Amino acid sequence: MAVVSIGIGLGIGGCSSERPKELVPTEKKADRIVVVKSNHTMTLMAGGRILKVYKVALGRGPSGPKEHAGDNKTPAGEYVIDQKNAKSRFHLALHISYPNADDKNRAHDAGVDPGGAIMIHGLESGLGWLGTIQHDMDWTEGCIAVSNSEIEEIWRLVPTGTPIEIKP
């Protein structure tokens, strides 16, 4: 017993004050997402600093904010990541809280359905081989798309409840 306690005492005394790497958090979590549609970029922010910038594909509809279901436009406005879907037909998906109150009012005034199911997602099953070339053209129905490896990273960095601003 004495040998064990001496061994433990020596082990503790000989350790540096640094924590082992596996115990040190290696990734900060995003506390805000900013998408700039005109630049095809999505920036993850933490504490006002840039964590990562991604090139993205957007809705294949004409430019401008989403107006109604089926217009294939990516919305513009203030939203929240309100859920994650690991079983999406796309490789992981983060649901965006579109439509917000402004979107609903605009659609109501126009007499149209605002639509929904807007996500940040990877590629459809079987198309992962496209990788980052997927963002060379807009192809979604209004969503924000990245490669599968990028959505895996985003999945880890973005908690549910993270605000997202989508700018024109």
pLDDT single digits (tens) 99-158: 999 999 999 999 999 999 999 999 887 665 666 667 788 999 999 999 999 999 999 999
Amino acid at 91: H
Residue 50 lies in a domain: yes
Residue 49: domain span? 25-167
- Could you tell me if residue 10 is inside a domain? no
In a domain, 11, yes or no: no
Is 6 contained in some domain? no
* Per-residue confidence (pLDDT) for residue 93, from 0 to 100: 96
Domain with residue 157: its CATH number is 2.40.440.10
- Within 10 angstroms of residue 54's Cβ, the number of other Cβ atoms is 22
Provide the domain count of the chain: 1
Determine, yes or no, domain membership for 148: yes
- Res 77: pLDDT: 96
What is the rounded average pLDDT of the residues 19-46?
80
Residue 164 buriedness (CB in 10 A; 0-12 / 13-18 / 19+) = buried
Edge-to-edge strands of the sheet including 49-55? 49-55, 41-46, 32-36, 163-167, 77-85, 93-96, 119-121, 144-145
The predicted-structure confidence for 90-111, as pLDDT tens digits, reads as follows 889 999 999 999 999 999 999 9
Partners of 57 in the β-ladder: 145
**E-only strand ranges, 104-154:** 119-121, 144-145
Model-level pTM?
0.80
Specify if 51 maps to a domain. yes
User: How many C-beta neighbours within 10 Å does residue 66 have?
Assistant: 25
Is 4 a domain residue?
Answer: no
Rounded average pLDDT over 33-45: 97
Domain assignment present for 142: yes
